[in-house]
Structure 1
Amino acid sequence: MKIAFLKLLFLILFVIPDGPCKSLAGRPSIVNIGSIIRLNSTIGGVSAVAIQAALDDINSDPTILNGTTLHVIMRDTNCDDGFLGMVQALQFMETDVIAIIGPQCSTIAHIISFVANELRVPLMSFASDATLSSIQFPFFVRTVPSDLYQMEAVAAVVDYYRWKIVTAIYIDDDYGRNGIAALDDALTARRCKISYKIGFAANTRRSDLLNLLVTVSNMESRVIVLHTRAEQGFQLLSLANRLNMMGNGYVWIATDWLSSYLDANSSVPAEILYGMQGVLTLRAHIPKSKMQSNLVSKWGSLSKKYNHSDLRINAYGFYVYDSVWTVARALDAFFDDGGSISFSNDSRLHDETGGTLHLEAMSIFNMGNKMLDKIKHVNFTGASGQVKFDPQRLLSIVHPEDLYSKPPNTSLANQRLYDVIWPGQTSHKPRGWAFPFNAKELKIGVPNRFSFKEFVTKDNVTGSMKGYCVDVFTQALALLPYPVTYKFVPFGSGTENPHYDNLVQMVEDNEFDGAIGDIAITMNRTKAIDFTQPFIETGLVILAPVQLFDFIFCTHYTASLTSILTVQQLDTSIKGLDDLKSSDYPIGFQVGSFAEEYMVKELNISRSRLKALGSPEEYAENLKLGPKKGGVMAIVDERPYVELFLSTYCKIAVAGSDFTSRGWGFVDLSTAILALSENGELQRIHDKWLKTGDCTSDNTEFVDSNQLRLESFWGLFLISGVACVLALLIYFGIMLRRFLRHEPPESAVSEPGSSKSRRSLKKFISFVDDREPPKKKRSLSLSRSSMPTTPMSNLHALDIERPVRPIRNGSVIDIEN
């Protein structure tokens, strides 16, 4: 409220026209700039030395400012106490300055930016808060990279190591909150997220920080991003070490507060170093330059001269040094362009209460817009690299988006990081998560079924749940790399199958944390738990047999063996899903199954056609009766139930192909179940529960309507057999008649009876086999040796009406008439 009040106060006070002017014509001998920093901090101390170093170099360089001396008015401010820091900053604004270096604190930067806008004084700030924008604050000039880039780098590290969730601990001010917001956006872009974030005040007691870390240790994420200031950061790391949170499995990523402290302090206490072993931190990249090397070489003497001998230069020192040089170069261009230093008092700013906040002493820099324009166009190589500003008045560096647009860096496979010694003195990459110690016992809803109890049911003796789905669930949990505590809660009376809609509603109402059993869930109705992820949220677990949502038709048939082909194969119109939809036959479904709603809502089948069946016996009976006797033509059910049913009633027909409903799904322990499948355990569980019946030859109660058996073709066999016998008899008669025509009757008179019969049989067989005896009549025998050597052309001219049959072992050609 205080901050909002001061913002509103200054917006109201600074709308009255300018008062009397105070002017310094031409190039003045001295020009004042201001500096608002926290002197007792590492960044503040380094910044103070860097400002003085820059002034020494500028004022000793005759090529800059042409004899005008640049002077700094430095004011210490309090970053921990926001209100006191704002009052100190406002008091500082009573001085006439043409630019301000700082502040480093984002909270103070927001308030001073409002004042700088009204007084038209460029604010050369090295506050990294990404929400400080030149759109809201036209005189705000950022001289360090924004936290957007830093958080982008943190997200890139998280993504590189393939962690998906992080915990964020931050100081609860503008700097901390806005930095974590930027991190959240960067992680989301990489399909990662902050699973838990917790802030703390700068003056939080040690005991409260300890409780904070205890809470964090109970979370599933082991990747912790620490975005704070150095004092609080080291205190948290020390406490985390006491809680064994700096050991194996943990990942600590500190933002650049840690690297800034370590770079600037030559001697770090041993307890601090011990408490942060394995912590990752970020440091801004500073390219090599001549101005940088010159500054580094004389830093030791400068730090002693300005009472900060214990501090070395860090990235912020380079940025602040270049900020002063930026003001000097812009001021030189400002003078060259005819600019003059003049301020206007505003009569509105009068402290009527007589307090120490002399608002009337504040002055407006009349040519502040022109000075700001000169700053925007500065371009030189400084200690931090190339110094120029983009249209949003942000320090223009080689932006990460430019670096990552190059092909070698667009893929994680092309990126390389040095090996890391992680907390716990291990080089093995931490998994990044663990099952939370305070995780509640999951309540798993289990249908207490009446039929098909092989899948899941309640043991009435022990009260425990058993079945195929229960075994798969427990075996899969045993393969998970983290413990899961759970208890089974039966659902249903056991006298009928519970309806899946009721169970879904109980999960959505958080009465159950999950469910097992073949319960079908539409994706747009559920909250889902995926146990393949390293964290658990309130939601639904569905564990079901493979291909849960395939349907099978069990069609009605006629028991008569003679009617299978004619009735089922030819007359039945139900061949698949489309035929079933277009018919008017009654259809059966399992009590409590989602198949009822699916057929009504998805297939547009009238509910009046549907008949609920509660057991395998009812399945068999209704299929046997058929639609004309009060039964059903087909049953629509899930594959596992049909397979179990057919293992007992194995001669019931299966008609049509499986079909699957798009948009339906279930969530399970997929990775663990895959492992069960690969090691054969899933098949063992399947054989234990789902192979309960044997199909034997004695089981003739039902007949398969689609499967063709040997006896199904006896009619065809009979017809084929009769046709073959008749054909054989006719052929035999024809051949016998031809044989008798060619055999002379007198040749058999002088032969004994037995020899004659054998010879006649042999002759008949030879005749049938194209071995006819030589003819005495109407035949012409020619000896091969006496045949004329007739040319082939003459032979072709012979008129041969009978076929020529060469004798296999003779040399005679027989030419019949």
Structure 2
Amino acid sequence: MPSPVQISLDLLKDVEVDAIVGPQNSAQANFIMDLGNRSHVPIISFSATSPSMLSQTPYFIQTALSDDAQVGAISSIIKAFQWRQVTIIYEDTDYGNGLMPSLCTAFQDINAQIAYRSHIPLSATDDFILTELYNMITMQTRVFVVHLSLSLGTRLFWKAKGIGMLREGYVWIITDGLMDFIYYMDSRVIEAMQGVLGVRPRIRRSKELDSFEVRWRRKFLQDNPAAKQAEISIFGLWAYDTVWALAMAAEKVGVKEPVINLDNNRINVTNLSSLGISQTGPKLLGAILETRFLGLSGEFDLVNGRLRPSAFQILNVIGKGEREVGIWTQSHGISKGFHTNEADSSFNPGESFRAIVWPGETTFVPKGWEIPVSGKKLRIAVPVKRGFTDFVKVEIDPLTNATKVSGISIDIFDSVIGALPYALPYEYHPFEIGDDSSAAKPGSYYNDLVYQVYLQRDYDAAVGDITITANRSSYVDFTLPFAEGGVSMIVPIKYEDTDSIWTFLKPLNMKLWLASIAFFILTGFAVWVLEHRIDPAFRGPPSHHVGLILWFPLSGMKVKSNLARLVVAVWLFVVLILSSSYTASLSSRLMVQRLQPTVSDVNLLISNGDYVGHLYGSFFVDILKGMGFEQSQLKPQNTQEECDEALLKGSKNGGISAFFHSVPYATIFLSEYCGKYMAVGPIYRTEGFGFVFPKGSPLVADVSHAIITVMEGKKYADLSQSKCTIPDSNSINSTSLTLQSFRGVFMFTGCVTVLCLLVYLAKYTYDNKDHLKIMISDSSTTTWSRLYAICRHWDQRDLSSYPFSRGKESNLERVLELNDVGDSSLFTDAPLSNSNSIGMASTQSEEGLDDATDEVVDPNSEDMVVVQIPG
């Protein structure tokens, strides 16, 4: 009998067919599709399902669902039951290898790790299959996805049943290539596969399908009288629909008699150059791709040369066949099934699966892994430490040599394991973390412990005060942290001296003092400017003005300008707030003893070259070096007692000025040494303490979930709370009032003061615009002279103001008032006359002063003082 390849070549060369249907497997299709591409003849396959063939040539049509269409259904099953690890068993052929890329990507998307890949060749012996199964039985994973052909699949399950791999705790999922032929298997194999899950394209029932199956069974049993059962596979339905589609397309393009001759033996495989180019093939190809109808297998609809994916059944092998336990579609995921109305593609609400019977005839969902193998207990490594043993402490009885492990982390781990929904036997094994000489290597103790878990030779996990770091996470998996992270700085406490002569300055910090003084002077200057031209009390020699500016904000002097009154009112409001706040802060300081750290800034420790301490073998060394500390400044400490002694000595006496430790231990340390030390500065961010498991361990997810459950309880609610309340550095600094607290009131008084000055200057400029214009436009003077003249003009009294226009009074009284003893110009004195006469040189009427010059004779002087008063 000629091979399908030879028959196809003969049909293309001699018969000159317009289409070929039927490459049965991917290997045949890979060669025949090349022939079709050369001759422009469509190659149609209803059984070659490898995804790799799709984009090789446009003349290949896949009327069967591609294997990668089912990976979504398989990955959804894995995700639904939260299995974290999977073993894949596949056939080492084009059929098996073609599915692997899509399957691996789907598992990666749901965060499921592929623990092992077993590729079985078609020529595999029973011994080879047994060896693979024994290798897989020693692993932790108990979830297996099988993608094999019928012959290999039946042998695999028969052997797996014989060595106990189809018992309780195991999960087996088969692809549609094996599930579709379940009725063709031997009854003993089906019995061995009880509890297996499988996926298969869902075929909707119809009258046409039922009629066809009846006729097909009748025909099949007539041709095969010895057959016990006649079931048509989905490939048969796809073949039927393919022929119908081809016939419809041929009728559309006018191909009347397609010739198919499978008995021709005249084949010349070597001569491919004689193949002619089909004229009808391209038209037929286009007609096939456009053909759409409702066939026996469902909707026949080709998209990019392949059958459009449909829904998949999730089947459970029970008894002599299978039972549907769910339906999967790409748009809705997994559900129990469609509505009663088959035309409706929506799902019923509720649970995703119907009841499933798992291997071992159990209805309990397997956890998907088994630790440890062969009944061994889980080996938990715990670090042996000299000090800081609150989280983990290992003691050995000298009489019985028995090991006792205790501590906060041990108690939490015991509670977490007890909260798991299954029993997990384990035992603690002390891990000697080396001598003190290895402390120079950052984190060497705990890094060695983590690395032992990575090797999985002596330990299966590790429990203790192990901080989660990025470097360690590269080798192992950590659970969620059960204790908070962070590195805190601990320093000794000193008490504030309330008997200091400078205590009265401490209620306000330096910035607030300076701001108060600045606004004090600003307010005095503003009032002096606003009152100088209208109030005789604000006139006099320069020394009088300076003293007045400094004295006025504290005095009770009256002002006559409304603008000055507004400035003074706002200032009094600020003074009231400042004085009351100062009084309250000072009273608090004198009544309550304040605590202060010896140092609150890391940069000060670095610049002074002080020694600082850290835990032996911790990774804090890298953090401290990153801050700027030199290696010579770092001193490792082993126990609480050593740390206490070193802090009391101080850096100058061979001790340390500060000690850096993780937040949980810092909290415990401060509780034990209450009143002696305190935590200051920021907390340097790190991850917390976590339990260590090998990379990809399925226990990580379950233990992390149990940690959340346990830590939400009240048992460990006070884990991070100190028994001794010591204020931190932030609360200490807050005992002095800061400028930030009074920024609003200072901004308010400053804005009001500046606004009043601007209004005053605008009014002065407007009232004296003519005179100022003359002085500015005088081209004979310099800029400095003009400025001097303007200032001199401003220094004169404003006779138009209310104090100088009070009504009818004698000229002499008004002039004497204006010329009171001690009053002089800010910039220059009035010129003295050489006249020896005493008395008034000229007078003005009582109605007011004119532009004439009033001369007043000083009775105590031989010279006459002449005062010019502008109108």
Give the structure-2-normalised TM-score. 0.58
For the 8 Å contact 2:253–2:287, the answer to whether it is kept is yes
Task: Specify whether residues 527 and 108 from structure 1 end up closer, same or farther in structure 2 by C-alpha distance, changes over 3 A only.
Answer: same
Residue in 1 aligned with 2:283? 370
For the 8 Å contact 2:168–2:359, the answer to whether it is kept is yes
1:283 aligns with 2:225: no
Q: Distance in 2 between matches of 1:259 and 1:416?
A: 21
Amino acid paired to 1:140:
F
The within-5 A match list for 1:737-776 is: none
Residue in 2 aligned with 1:320? 239
Shift of 1:125: 0.8
Q: Distance in 2 between matches of 1:303 and 1:231?
A: 22
For the 8 Å contact 1:342–1:365, the answer to whether it is kept is no
5+ residue gaps, structure 2, are 261-265, 313-326, 336-345, 504-588, 693-702, 730-871
Residue in 1 aligned with 2:658? 634
Task: Specify whether residues 126 and 660 from structure 1 end up closer, same or farther in structure 2 by C-alpha distance, changes over 3 A only.
Answer: farther
Q: Distance in 1 between matches of 2:379 and 2:348?
A: 40
Residue in 1 aligned with 2:470? 523
Amino acid paired to 1:394:
R
Amino acid paired to 1:639:
V
For the 8 Å contact 2:173–2:197, the answer to whether it is kept is yes
- Tell me the secondary structure at the aligned position of residue 388 of structure 1: strand
Q: Distance in 1 between matches of 2:2 and 2:714?
A: 72
Deviations 1:346-396 (A, max 9, x none): xxxxxxxx9974646973352222222222222233222232322x11123
Residue in 2 aligned with 1:475? 414
Residue in 1 aligned with 2:483? 546
Residue in 1 aligned with 2:217? 300
The within-5 A match list for 1:232-247 is: 232-247=152-167
For the 8 Å contact 1:119–1:365, the answer to whether it is kept is yes
Q: Distance in 2 between matches of 1:446 and 1:407?
A: 44
- Tell me the secondary structure at the aligned position of residue 683 of structure 2: strand
Shift of 1:127: 3.5
- Tell me the secondary structure at the aligned position of residue 151 of structure 2: helix
Amino acid paired to 1:372:
L
Deviations 1:315-368 (A, max 9, x none): 2111101111122122222227xx99899xxxxxxxxxx997464697335222
Shift of 1:623: 2.7
Shift of 1:284: 1.4
1:335 aligns with 2:254: yes
Q: Distance in 1 between matches of 2:254 and 2:11?
A: 25
Select which of 352, 355, 358 maps to 1:422.
358
Deviations 1:79-129 (A, max 9, x none): xxxxxx767876776663322222221222222222222233211112353
Task: Specify whether residues 331 and 495 from structure 1 end up closer, same or farther in structure 2 by C-alpha distance, changes over 3 A only.
Answer: closer
Residue in 1 aligned with 2:70? 150
1:107 aligns with 2:20: no
For the 8 Å contact 1:91–1:358, the answer to whether it is kept is no
Select which of 384, 389, 394 maps to 2:306.
394
The within-5 A match list for 1:67-78 is: none
Shift of 1:661: 0.7
Shift of 1:147: 1.1
The within-5 A match list for 1:664-703 is: 666-668=690-692, 670-671=704-705
1:624 aligns with 2:652: no
Deviations 1:39-89 (A, max 9, x none): xxxxxxxxxxxxxxxxxxxxxxxxxxxxxxxxxxxx786xxxxxxx76787
- Tell me the secondary structure at the aligned position of residue 224 of structure 1: strand
Q: Distance in 2 between matches of 1:239 and 1:208?
A: 11
For the 8 Å contact 1:260–1:314, the answer to whether it is kept is yes
Q: Distance in 2 between matches of 1:220 and 1:470?
A: 26
Deviations 1:578-604 (A, max 9, x none): 887888755333333333321221x34
For the 8 Å contact 1:446–1:491, the answer to whether it is kept is no
For the 8 Å contact 1:556–1:634, the answer to whether it is kept is no
For the 8 Å contact 1:180–1:227, the answer to whether it is kept is no
For the 8 Å contact 2:443–2:620, the answer to whether it is kept is no
Amino acid paired to 2:292:
N
Q: Distance in 2 between matches of 1:283 and 1:706?
A: 66
Q: Distance in 2 between matches of 1:498 and 1:458?
A: 26
Task: Specify whether residues 240 and 599 from structure 1 end up closer, same or farther in structure 2 by C-alpha distance, changes over 3 A only.
Answer: same
For the 8 Å contact 2:83–2:368, the answer to whether it is kept is yes
The within-5 A match list for 1:205-220 is: 205-220=125-140
Select which of 375, 381, 401 maps to 2:294.
381
Shift of 1:141: 0.1
Amino acid paired to 1:208:
F
1:651 aligns with 2:675: yes
Q: Distance in 2 between matches of 1:556 and 1:411?
A: 68
Shift of 1:416: 2.8
Deviations 1:214-239 (A, max 9, x none): 22222222222221112221222222
Shift of 1:143: 0.4
Task: Specify whether residues 662 and 397 from structure 1 end up closer, same or farther in structure 2 by C-alpha distance, changes over 3 A only.
Answer: same
RMSD of equivalent CA atoms: 4.8
Shift of 1:271: 1.4
Residue in 1 aligned with 2:570? none
Shift of 1:276: 1.6
Q: Distance in 1 between matches of 2:727 and 2:122?
A: 80
1:256 aligns with 2:173: no
Deviations 1:768-794 (A, max 9, x none): xxxxxxxxxxxxxxxxxxxxxxxxxxx
Deviations 1:484-541 (A, max 9, x none): 5774431212688685532465445856766544343521453354476xxxxxxxxx
Shift of 1:683: 9.4
Select which of 87, 95, 99 maps to 1:167.
87
For the 8 Å contact 2:382–2:428, the answer to whether it is kept is no
Shift of 1:441: 9.0
For the 8 Å contact 1:94–1:359, the answer to whether it is kept is no
Amino acid paired to 1:452:
F
Residue in 1 aligned with 2:434? 492
For the 8 Å contact 1:590–1:613, the answer to whether it is kept is yes
Shift of 1:149: 1.4
Select which of 139, 144, 162 maps to 2:59.
139
User: Greater RCO between the two (CA within 8 Å, min separation 6)?
Assistant: 2
For the 8 Å contact 1:557–1:624, the answer to whether it is kept is no
Amino acid paired to 1:371:
L
Shift of 1:427: 2.2
Q: Distance in 1 between matches of 2:593 and 2:609?
A: 17
The within-5 A match list for 1:499-518 is: 499-503=441-445, 506=448, 507-508=450-451, 515-518=462-465
Task: Specify whether residues 252 and 517 from structure 1 end up closer, same or farther in structure 2 by C-alpha distance, changes over 3 A only.
Answer: closer
For the 8 Å contact 1:557–1:623, the answer to whether it is kept is no
Amino acid paired to 1:549:
G
- Tell me the secondary structure at the aligned position of residue 61 of structure 2: strand
- Tell me the secondary structure at the aligned position of residue 557 of structure 1: strand
For the 8 Å contact 2:487–2:663, the answer to whether it is kept is yes
For the 8 Å contact 2:464–2:691, the answer to whether it is kept is no
Select which of 427, 432, 448 maps to 2:368.
432
For the 8 Å contact 2:146–2:175, the answer to whether it is kept is yes
For the 8 Å contact 2:486–2:684, the answer to whether it is kept is yes
- Tell me the secondary structure at the aligned position of residue 144 of structure 2: strand
Q: Distance in 1 between matches of 2:443 and 2:468?
A: 8
Q: Distance in 2 between matches of 1:341 and 1:153?
A: 39
Task: Specify whether residues 76 and 105 from structure 1 end up closer, same or farther in structure 2 by C-alpha distance, changes over 3 A only.
Answer: farther
Residue in 2 aligned with 1:587? 612
Task: Specify whether residues 342 and 291 from structure 1 end up closer, same or farther in structure 2 by C-alpha distance, changes over 3 A only.
Answer: closer
Count of aligned positions = 588
Residue in 1 aligned with 2:826? none
Residue in 2 aligned with 1:598? 623
Q: Distance in 2 between matches of 1:332 and 1:276?
A: 47
